[in-house]
């Protein structure tokens, strides 16, 4: 690459921050999320960290460090619990308030609150959300389970907090007191002003509501855009982020549609074949330097516990409708990637085998050894806390029928050659396509090699905005770390 660009995932490839809430404070974009560990065994095993970027340069990310440790919560003195998806809001007093829940093995279901004088912390534990009598919301008899809190201060100063999750399968209906709820807070940011009330329908109560097939599961995220309230959430389908819309912040929400699916499945169209293995999804909308973006996450390493943040530009129509967008490799780049130079394969946005007809869970049992996936060499890595060289992520377990897609590039001149850097026991060819329904534009022959080896091939790619698909035909399996586009 001859110039700095923004990719998906937008953070360094060794960083695993899912469940992101993006917020612009001043002239910087901050992303707050939970924090997975590479090759982790549970969700959110690491402490909260923060990254930020100038709003006018979303390729220039700065690591802000650890902003809140799990052991700061008095309920987790031994650090044997996880910090789940948070949200941050600037309070009326000018301080920043972080709301979060701990994993549901704790016994106390309350929403924690931490506070800081700066967006990127450090945050200090403040309290748990309580009622006027001091009881913890979530611990009282009859309370629904708090989950994935989202916080919003409206133009009239009312402070809203959204929370909850629902059953994902019929057999889970009615098992626990779970629901989508909203409540309001006093100006102290701790005490509820109004009791939690149900908001979006969950599975088992959606008939006739318009939410059928896309019922609320988890991951509440709230924004007010041009006078309308948008509640983004993860549906019972897991891989998709949907939105509900209302003219009021606490009632009358109607189903809006799907904003994004990290499988690239578009409901109601012929785009039903998944192009990625899937898992849960979580994210939010933010207005950045004149454009709206949806933030979401993808799954790596054949697991649910090594998730990475991605983002895509979205369009909001005059009537409030948000059109579904596809996953790309260039989400925050303000346009396609430059069609020349060297690119890492971890920016792949479609990764599957042509035998994958239905969505496959990102899990060793579900995937087996059949599908390609993303991995890195070495252990989990955190900047400023390691003398090691940062690990590089790459595609592994590439076998016959693998398709690795990258969208989009702008080719200003005709492309004549592509180089692929691979290793492994494979012998075959990477067929290059710009459109999977049209003829190939070239191929790269690869041979067995125990170390990273470069193989070149001739291509004929005409100028224009195009995808690149690497489709493998041959024997054996290999790792694929980067490719270079030559004019």
The residues assigned a catalytic role are 19, 218
Helix residue spans in 328-460 (DSSP H): 364-367
User: With contact defined as beta carbons under 8 Å apart, do 480 and 398 qualify?
Assistant: yes
In sequence order, the 6+-apart residues with CB closer than 8 A to the CB of 344 are 13, 392, 393, 394, 481, 482
Q: Provide the sign of the torsion angle of the four alpha carbons 42, 48, 51, 52, taken in this order.
A: positive
All residues at 6 or more sequence positions from 436 whose CB lies less than 8 Å from its CB, including other chains: 403, 405, 469, 471
| Calculated CA dihedral for residues 133, 136, 138, 139, nearest 10 degrees | -90
- Three-class SS of 426-463: CEEEEEEECCCCCCCCEEEEECCEEEEEEEEEEEEECC
The Cα–Cα gap between 3 and 155 comes to 41
Q: What's the CA gap between 418 and 434, in Å, rounded?
A: 13
At residue 310, the 3 state secondary structure works out as: strand
Tokens of 229: 């309230």
Distance of CA 453 to the CA centre of its chain: 32
> In angstroms, how far is the first alpha carbon of the chain from the final one?
13
Classify burial at 39, counting beta carbons within 10 Å of its beta carbon; exposed 0-12, middle 13-18, buried 19 or more.
Answer: middle
446 close to 478: Cβ distance less than 8 angstroms: yes
Q: Beta strand 28-32 with 350-353: parallel, antiparallel or unpaired?
A: unpaired
Q: Can you spell out the DSSP letters for 69-108?
A: -GGGSTT-TT--S-B---EEEE-TTS-EEEEE-B-TTSS-
């Amino acid at each position: 690459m001859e110039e700095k660009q923004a990719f998906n995932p937008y953070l360094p490839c060794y960083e695993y921050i899912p469940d992101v809430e993006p917020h612009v404070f001043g002239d910087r974009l901050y992303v707050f999320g939970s924090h997975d560990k590479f090759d982790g065994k549970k969700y959110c095993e690491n402490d909260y960290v923060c990254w930020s970027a100038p709003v006018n340069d979303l390729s220039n990310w700065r690591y802000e460090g650890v902003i809140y440790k799990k052991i700061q919560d008095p309920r987790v003195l031994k650090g044997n619990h996880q910090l789940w998806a948070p949200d941050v809001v600037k309070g009326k007093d000018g301080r920043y308030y972080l709301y979060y829940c701990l994993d549901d093995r704790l016994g106390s279901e309350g929403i924690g609150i931490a506070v800081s004088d700066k967006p990127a912390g450090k945050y200090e534990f403040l309290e748990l959300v309580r009622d006027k009598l001091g009881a913890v919301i979530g611990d009282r008899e009859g309370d629904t389970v708090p989950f994935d809190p989202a916080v919003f201060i409206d133009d009239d100063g009312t402070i809203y907090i959204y929370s909850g999750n629902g059953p994902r399968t019929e057999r889970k209906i009615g098992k626990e007191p779970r629901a989508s709820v909203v409540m309001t807070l006093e100006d102290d940011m701790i005490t509820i002003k109004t009791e939690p009330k149900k908001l979006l329908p969950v599975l088992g109560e959606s008939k006739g509501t318009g939410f059928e097939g896309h019922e609320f599961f988890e991951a509440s995220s709230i924004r007010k855009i041009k006078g309308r309230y948008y509640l983004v959430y993860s549906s019972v389908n897991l891989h998709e982020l949907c939105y509900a819309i209302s003219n009021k912040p606490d009632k009358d929400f109607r189903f809006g549609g799907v904003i994004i699916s990290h499988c690239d499945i578009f409901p109601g169209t012929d785009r039903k074949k998944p192009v990625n293995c899937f898992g849960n999804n979580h994210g939010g909308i933010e207005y950045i330097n004149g454009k709206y973006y949806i933030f979401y996450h993808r799954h790596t390493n054949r697991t649910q516990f090594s998730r990475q943040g991605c983002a895509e530009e979205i369009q909001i129509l005059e009537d409030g409708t948000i059109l579904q967008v596809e996953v790309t490799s260039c989400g925050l780049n303000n346009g396609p990637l430059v069609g020349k130079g060297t690119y890492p394969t971890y920016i792949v946005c479609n990764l599957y085998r042509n035998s994958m007809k239905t969505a496959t869970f990102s899990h060793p049992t579900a995937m087996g050894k059949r599908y390609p996936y993303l991995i890195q060499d070495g252990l989990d890595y955190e900047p400023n806390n390691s003398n090691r060289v940062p690990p590089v992520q790459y595609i592994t377990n590439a076998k016959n029928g693998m398709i690795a897609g990258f969208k989009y590039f702008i080719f200003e001149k005709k492309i004549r050659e592509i180089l692929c850097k691979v290793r492994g026991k494979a012998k075959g060819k990477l067929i290059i396509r710009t459109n999977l329904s049209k003829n190939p534009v070239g191929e790269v022959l690869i041979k067995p090699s125990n170390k990273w080896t470069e193989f070149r091939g001739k291509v004929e790619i005409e100028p224009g905005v195009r995808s690149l698909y690497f489709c493998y035909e041959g024997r054996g399996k290999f790792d694929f770390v980067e490719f270079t586009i030559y004019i």
